[in-house]
Chain A
Amino acid sequence: MIEGKLVDLVPFEDDYATYLESWMNEEAWFRAHLWERREPHTEDMVKKFIEKMEKNERGALIGFQAKNGDPIGCVIFDHEWSRVRKADVTVVVGDTRYEGTDEALDGLLMLLRYCFETRSLHRVDAVALTFDEVKFDMYERAGFAHEGTLRQHIRYDGDYVDIEMFGLLEDEWPGYETITEKLGLQPSGLEPKPKLEKKDDKDGAKDNDKK
């Protein structure tokens, strides 16, 4: 676990795999994974995605949760390019109640902290659909510069829409401590979700049999 101000980064396991089944079918997922086909993600597709990310040497899928342990979503860095020390970063706010909150922003800041202060990256890239103002706001507060627009790059619900491209350089990153202080992050005070019931309790059933 890496502890932040409002959220902690944790390994993507246990409940996260179960939550991802619904997260990967939420609008937020498709807005973050612009290049993907818009199709229903079934349990085995979700499992495959997690496995792919576990094997991915140029990226990682990381969970982030509120201080009370409530899983919020996942942060992803991918396509890490070692020669020029650059990677793509993505935040998926799976629990949509957290959309636009400082917890979501802190998820991004923690990912940036990890990219710059742990992995020693030189630059990170981020993208957003042209009407995704919640993301623009988040990128702007984190210090990203808007660098350009890929015109009509994606088909989205009946239209071809633009993709906005953002970048943040190592020497523009003031450090996690400084930026969180400057932004004055405030917790949203959301109640944690009820704990998930174990979905596959075959093992549990066996244990009961023994008793």
Chain B
Amino acid sequence: MLLHGLLVDLVPFTREFHEEKMHTFWNNESRWWATMGDNQPVTRAEIKRMNEERIQGHERGYTGIHFMMRARDGNIIGSAGLNWLDYWNRYGMLGSWIGEPDYWSGGHGTDALLLLAEYAFNWYDLRRLILFTMGPNIRAQRNVERCGFKLEARQRDGGYAGGEWVTSLAYGMLREEWQGRETLVEQFNLRERAEKRYGALD
């Protein structure tokens, strides 16, 4: 099952992602933003181990659902998904990571976030979505706020990134606050932005 967006599609992970892209993404600046400041080098062997653990995790009842993010030009640029699905309390934690800096600020992350939120509400009937970012990540804060997420908690000195203590920000959105993907696509001019970058949409 594919989630078709305007700038990105969310698709199943391929071998290329696990064997090639992960090594790149985990060792460039993108990781620092996505993980709140982690930046120690990661070897191929460690990546391989992580992938094996991921497969086992699924068997042990890990509830997360993850997608590979593919830009309209066919490039694999990152991942996005529900890092955690709490079925009993009906909330899910979103996470996304664009590993190719060339694709930052282009609306790709927003497009993915809209697809994910719609997917989570429509297929899993969740009541609430949450996500976390850190103080220095102004871009992420702007993005999630205009999608309807509300800042619910500021955890002071919640993380250590780039040699200093940073605030960890907890965001939440209730189902009734979600305006629906179509509305936000209009509001953010995502169609025009996608056509400008990748040509006419079919």
A contact residues vs B (CB 8 Å cutoff): 21, 25-27, 29-30, 37-45, 155-158
Contacts and interface: CB of A to CB of B under 8 A. Distances in A.
Contact of A155 (B15, B66, B124): B124
A42 B11 CA distance: 9
A158 B1 contact: no
Given A25-B12, A27-B1, A44 B122 contact: no
Nearest to A40: B12
Interface string B1-20: 11000000011111100000
A44 B2 CA distance: 17
Interface in B104-128: 119, 121-125
A37 B62 CA distance: 13
Contacts of A26: 1
A158 B121 contact: yes
Contacts of B2: 25, 40
B55 interface: yes
A157 B65 contact: no
Nearest to A156: B123
A44 B66 CA distance: 14
Contacts of B14: 42-43
Interface of B: 1-2, 10-15, 55, 58, 65-68, 119, 121-125
Contact of A40 (B15, B65, B124, B125): B65
Nearest to A30: B1
A42 B1 contact: no
B123 A38 contact: yes
B1 A38 contact: yes
A45 B54 CA distance: 11
Contacts of B65: 37, 39-40
B67 A40 contact: yes
Contacts of A44: 55
A37 B125 CA distance: 12
16 contacts: A25-B1, A25-B2, A25-B11, A26-B1, A30-B1, A38-B119, A40-B2, A40-B13, A40-B65, A42-B14, A43-B14, A43-B15, A155-B123, A155-B125, A157-B123, A158-B121
A12 B119 CA distance: 32
A25 B11 CA distance: 9
Q: Which 7 A-B pairs have the closest CB atoms?
A: A40-B12, A158-B122, A38-B123, A39-B65, A42-B13, A42-B12, A157-B122
A40 B11 contact: yes
A151 B69 CA distance: 36
Nearest to B51: A44
B83 to A, nearest CB: 13
B161 to A, nearest CB: 31
B120 to A, nearest CB: 11
Nearest to B124: A155
Contacts of B68: 40
A43 B123 CA distance: 22
A38 B68 CA distance: 15
Nearest to B58: A45
Contacts of B12: 21, 25, 40-43
Nearest to A45: B58
Nearest to A38: B123
Contact of A39 (B1, B121, B122, B125): B1
A140 B12 CA distance: 35
A40 B10 CA distance: 9
B180 to A, nearest CB: 10
Given A40-B13, A44-B55, 18 more contacts: A26-B1, A29-B1, A30-B1, A37-B65, A38-B119, A38-B123, A40-B1, A40-B10, A40-B11, A40-B67, A42-B12, A42-B13, A42-B14, A43-B12, A43-B14, A45-B58, A155-B123, A158-B121
